[in-house]
Amino acid sequence: MKQIITILWKDLLVELKSKESLLSMFTFGLLILVLFNFAFEPTPALKRAITPGLLWVTFLFSGVLGLNRSFAVEKENMAIQGMLLAPVDRGLIYFGKFGANLIILLVAEFLTLPFFLLFLNMPLFEHFWWITGIILLGTIGFVAVGTLFSAMATNVKMSEVMLPLLLFPVSTPILLAAVACIRNIIAGEPFSTYQNWFSLLVGFDLIFVVVSSLVFEYVVEE
Amino acid sequence: MNSQYEDAFSQDHIGVKILGYVLLFLMFFSFLLIAWYAPVERTMGLVQKIFYYHVPSAWVAFLAFGVVFVCSILYLTSKDKKWDIYAASSVEIGVVFALIVLITGPIWARPVWGVWWTWEPRLTTTLILFLIYVAYLLLRYFGGQNDRTAKFSAVLGIIGFIDVPLVYLSINWWSAEAQVHPQRIGMGPEMKAAFFVSLFTFTLLYIYLLIKRVRATHAALAVDELREQRDE
């Protein structure tokens, strides 16, 4: 546990000093929001229809920006080699990186969230805790696979393009489940109407956190 | 000449040769069955015949990706390059057959449903699968030929296949009302005969293509080895 915290803290500290990922993700998210608004000129009814999807498309797109940086910074100065030489189980390195990515992504998401309220006039804050829970669950699954794929993508040509190509098709279930949950929550539906989606989200998270942490060692070993 | 890929320079194994001739016969035979023996379907008419290629192609695609999954696990646990070659070859074949499914589907759908495409569970799942394994091929292409790429692709081969049921489940709920794809088709005995012969033929074709593709990879690796020996 201590090793996980150390790696996690190292990543957060680097991010706090540079703020590179956070700033780029936040600005990019804002930009997507503005572009969508121009592209669709949404009426109130349309806004209601597209908000859940737009929210997640924004999160996934800006999330890829942050995940791309996650292992790219380790490659500079061969930092990853140093980490691998340390007598630490590879699975723990995965959880450290996963935790850091998760926190950074969540912060970026919650910075963007108020602008959905502002620009789209959506009642996101009436159900704040429910929506927070769904965002947390969706982001966990996305980052679980994303951290693994990020470690892979950094080591091949065209890494910035490779990550979304790998990540987006695999995360389709998260996108569908998270969008469906948010839509039902905004519409004020009871939990039972989207319970199956909720379980799918939890299931995805469990499966891919476990599987990713198990296969991570093969990705980083030399 | 000392190569671990010596089979690349020798003649086809006698069994492979026989398999090739059996396939030639079976493909011709199953075409005859499909074209003349199986009756024309009552409501859909002639276009329903595409079913005898569409469904076996889908089966081969899933079989191929299943083989990738197993070979990927075997590669990661044993680090035997053999399994990596099998997995990569199987992905290529699977992607081709998934593409056949995605092409024959709309040709069949247009006259029957009135549209080329609908965001229906099976169609969408096949499309997502196709995209996952196209990404697999890109990963190999951009990764270059080395052990690291082999490991990366094995990881993707595992994650991708575990994802299949989740993709299917989620898309099934997502488009529950768009459920137009037949879950099963009522078939007369002649149709059944034609279908199962076709299914069998496609499965053999998969095995044959896999053997051939693996050999082609061996030949490429053997040439690389020879080049290295010359340069030494």
CB–CB of B138/A165 below 8 Å?
Answer: yes
- pLDDT per residue over B127-168, tens digit each? 999 999 999 999 999 888 888 899 999 999 999 999 888 888
Show which residues on chain B lie within 8 Å of chain A, measured between beta carbons. Answer: 76, 128, 131-132, 135, 138-139, 142-144, 148-149, 151-152, 154-156, 158-160, 162-163, 166-167, 169-171, 173-174
Q: Are B75 and B150 in contact (CB under 8 A)?
A: yes
The reported pTM is 0.88
Q: Which residues of A touch B171 (CB under 8 A)?
A: 172, 176
Q: Give the pLDDT of residue A121.
A: 76
Question: Is B125 within 8 Å of B184 (Cβ atoms)?
Answer: no
pLDDT of residue B15: 85
Question: Residue A64: which residues within 8 A CB-CB, separation 6 or more?
Answer: A146, A163, A164, A167
Q: What mean pLDDT comes out for the span B33-56?
A: 81
pLDDT reported for residue B180: 61
How buried is A56 (Cβ within 10 angstroms: 0-12 exposed, 13-18 middle, 19+ buried)? Answer: buried
Domain boundaries, chain B: 12-181+188-217
Tell me whether residues B139 and A200 touch, CB distance under 8 A: no
Q: Is the pLDDT of residue B86 over 90?
A: yes
Rounded to an integer, what distance in angstroms lies between the CA atom of residue B9 and that of residue B12? 9
**DSSP codes of every residue in chain A:** -HHHHHHHHHHHHHHHHH-HHHHHHHHHHHHHHHHHHHHH---HHHHHHHHHHHHHHHHHHHHHHHHHHHHHHHHGGGHHHHHHHSS--HHHHHHHHHHHHHHHHHHHHHHHHHHHHHHH---TTTTHHHHHHHHHHHHHHHHHHHHHHHHHHTTSTTHHHHHHHHHHHHTHHHHHHHHHHHHHHHTT--GGGGHHHHHHHHHHHHHHHHHHHHHHHHHH--
pLDDT greater than 70 at residue B13: yes
- The CA distance from B214 to B143, in Å, is 19
DSSP-derived 3-state class of residue B41: strand
Which residue, A111, A92, A101, is CA-closest to A220?
A92
Instruction: Collapse the DSSP code of B34 into the 3-class scheme (helix H, G, I; strand E, B; otherwise coil) and give the result.
Output: helix
Over residues A102-127, the mean pLDDT reads 84
Domain that holds residue A183: 2-220
The residues with which B45 forms a beta bridge, in sequence order, are: B41
Phi-psi region of B2 (alpha: psi -120 to 50; beta: other; left: phi over 0): beta
Given a contact cutoff of 8 angstroms between Cβ atoms, the answer to whether A68 and A150 are in contact is yes
Q: Which residues of A are less than 8 Å from B76 in CB distance?
A: 215, 218
3-class secondary structure, B85: helix
8 Å CB contact of B167 and A172: yes
Q: Considering only A97-106, A130-139, B189-198, which range has the smallest mean pLDDT?
A: B189-198
Q: How far is CA B230 from CA B8, B9, B225, in A?
A: 18, 17, 9
Chain A, 141-180: which have a CB under 8 Å from a chain B CB? 145, 148, 152, 155-158, 162, 165-166, 169-170, 172-173, 176-177, 180
Residue B41 pairs in a beta bridge with B45
Q: Specify the pLDDT at position B182.
A: 65
Angstrom distance (rounded) from CA B203 to CA B60: 6
ipTM score of complex: 0.86
The burial class, CB within 10 Å (0-12 / 13-18 / 19+), for A191 is exposed
What the block records as the tokens of A54 is 């737009």
Q: Which amino acid is at B208?
A: Y
Highest mean pLDDT among A83-97, A116-130, B75-89, B169-183: B75-89
Q: What is the pLDDT of residue B1?
A: 47
Location of structure tokens 């490429």: B220
The confidence score (pLDDT) of residue B35 equals 81
A135-176 tens-digit pLDDT: 999 999 999 999 999 989 888 888 888 999 999 999 999 998
* Structural domain total, chain A: 1
- With cut-offs at 50, 70 and 90, classify the pLDDT of residue B67: very high
Alpha-carbon span B209 to B60, nearest angstrom = 11
Q: Which residues in chain A touch residue B148, judged by CB atoms under 8 angstroms apart?
A: 155
CB pairs under 8 A between A and B: 81
Residue B2 reports pLDDT greater than 70? no
Rounded CA gap, B174 and B89, in Å? 33
Q: Would you identify the CATH topology of the domain B12-181+188-217?
A: Four Helix Bundle (Hemerythrin (Met), subunit A) (1.20.120)
